[in-house]
Structure 1
Amino acid sequence: MSWVRGLAVIVLGVATAVASAAELPTFTLVFKPDGSFEPQRLEVPAGKFKIELINESDQPVEFESLPLRKEKVLGPGVRSFVVITISRPGEYPFFDDFHQDVKGTLVVLPKP
């Protein structure tokens, strides 16, 4: 019976993580068919937040930020998200690794 308890703990942990991500402040970043981002400059408060990623193009895209150590590949027409925790205000570049000529900036604002 201890394996049942262990499984219950794992399921509860996953459910809590999913619910926690759903309650975070959420911002949207859209990959446009022309290879651009909308918005190209995304302002967020310091702390923990979620960026919903939407690929409106007919090609794969990859959200990547080296200073934030985040990357996420999305197929054509796919939606997904990344959760970021950062306490230091500042500007953090991001780009689409498949279209590196277009850059964006995540602006982390101080907590009010």
Structure 2
Amino acid sequence: MTPPSEVRVQLARMEEARRETQRQLDLIDRQIMRHMTVLIPRRQPKRTGYRHGKPPDPNAFLERYRSHLAALTAERQPEVDALSRRLAHQDQAIAVLRVRHGLVLPRVA
């Protein structure tokens, strides 16, 4: 049987590891958004006016933005998936440890 103080130390370590994994996921999200923020001025529609009698397409900018965002997200997707799986495993391990040692937090209704 593990002493209660060792269980609490182990739980604290597991929770800190979980927070670090969450920070890494948040960092990836911020990096993608920062990159997109830098690219927005470059993606603005050119102010050329009408060409060959056709008005500028108002949805073109949004389509270019979405496609670039999808490309950046797809590039980082394997890393995000791995971190998400790790986070799920950590959540499950923390829950099992809490239940096993009677450290279940009371539910807030």
TM-score calculated relative to the size of structure 2: 0.30
Q: Quick one: higher RCO (CA 8 Å, sep 6+), 1 or 2?
A: 2
Q: Which has the higher helix share?
A: 2
TM-score calculated relative to the size of structure 1: 0.30
Larger Cα-atom Rg: 2
Q: Which has the higher strand share?
A: 1
